Amino acid sequence: MRILLVTKGHPFEKGPFFDMFDDFDGIEYTHVEQPAARVFFDPDLARDYDAIVCYDMPGIQFQPGGPDFEDPPAKFRERFLALLDSGFGFVFLHHALAGWPAWPEFAEIVGGRFLYLPGELRGRPEPDSGYRHQVTHRVNVVDTAHPVTAGLPKSFEITDELYLAPVFEDDVHPLLRSEHAFVRDNFYSAARAVRDGKMYDNSGWEHDDGSNLIGWVKRYGASPICYLQCGDDPVAWGSQEFRMLLANAIRWVGSEEAHAWARGR
């Protein structure tokens, strides 16, 4: 398989991250950073690839006093949606859930949204989302028959970052649920970190209990989509279960089986 691997917008340790992709048998990748990667979100220019893996966070510029949110260019939106309508596989990883915060449709494509600042989602006000690094938690596979979870044990332990953020559960097919409690006291406020400069703080922050769904598949247009919340750092990348999940997800979204499933839905 040939994939386009898209990064930038959020810091990560490049060496072990790319080592993980180098270790995947039968998967060749071309790495492109944002914003240069935007040109490939196009039915003609993406045809050399079987899938696109997004480990990026476009549309956000972090600055003192809080982030600025960029509207995606109209031409980019048009070509991206045309690519999805044509049928093309995407895997969105971890912080990609926060991408394009000024574009409501992007949340519909991925299946949820991480909000760095309080905002609006699906016509309703939403508080900023929560984050918690280095959480050791148990993951339960809720669809053991799906190709993305093939070969995985029914449950496994991983140490990774988790999010308290909206998930559109009614619009996705669930794969993975965490046993961690997705409640306000177990997370820190994203806005306190990026707007107020206070990391690991949740004072004055309120958030309803959230979804424990951390992996799903869905379709958008005629395209199969997979989102995996796992994958923050080298500890997570070293997990054999995560590596199996990621390789399975890449192979599935690029398969004729996945494309037929998306078209059928």
> Rounded distance, CA 27 to CA 244, Å?
13
> Rounded distance, CA 22 to CA 37, Å?
20
> Rounded distance, CA 247 to CA 87, Å?
20
Q: Are 175 and 145 in contact (CB under 8 A)?
A: no
Q: Are 212 and 182 in contact (CB under 8 A)?
A: yes
Which fold would CATH assign to domain 2-264?
Answer: Rossmann fold (3.40.50)
pLDDT at 265: 73
Give per-residue burial for 19-32: e unless 16+ CB within 10 Å, then b. Answer: ebbeebeebebebb
Q: Are 93 and 172 in contact (CB under 8 A)?
A: no
Burial class (CB within 10 angstroms; exposed 0-12, middle 13-18, buried 19+) of 243: middle
What ranges make up the beta strands (E) of 22-144?
Answer: 28-33, 51-56, 60-61, 68-69, 89-93, 119-121, 124-126, 130-141
Q: Are 206 and 200 in contact (CB under 8 A)?
A: no
Q: Where are the domains of the chain?
A: 2-264
Residue 256 neighbours by CB distance under 10 Å: 7
The two three-digit tokens of residue 46, written as one number: 């993406």
Helical segments of the chain, H only: 14-22, 74-86, 104-110, 190-194, 234-237, 240-253, 256-264
pLDDT at 94: 98
Q: What is the pLDDT along the chain (265 residues), one digit of tens a residue?
A: 999 999 999 999 999 999 999 999 999 999 999 999 999 999 999 999 999 999 999 999 999 889 999 999 999 999 999 999 999 999 999 999 999 999 999 999 999 999 999 999 999 999 999 999 999 999 999 999 999 999 999 999 999 999 999 999 999 999 999 999 999 999 999 999 999 999 999 999 999 999 999 999 999 999 999 999 999 999 999 999 999 999 999 999 999 999 999 998 7
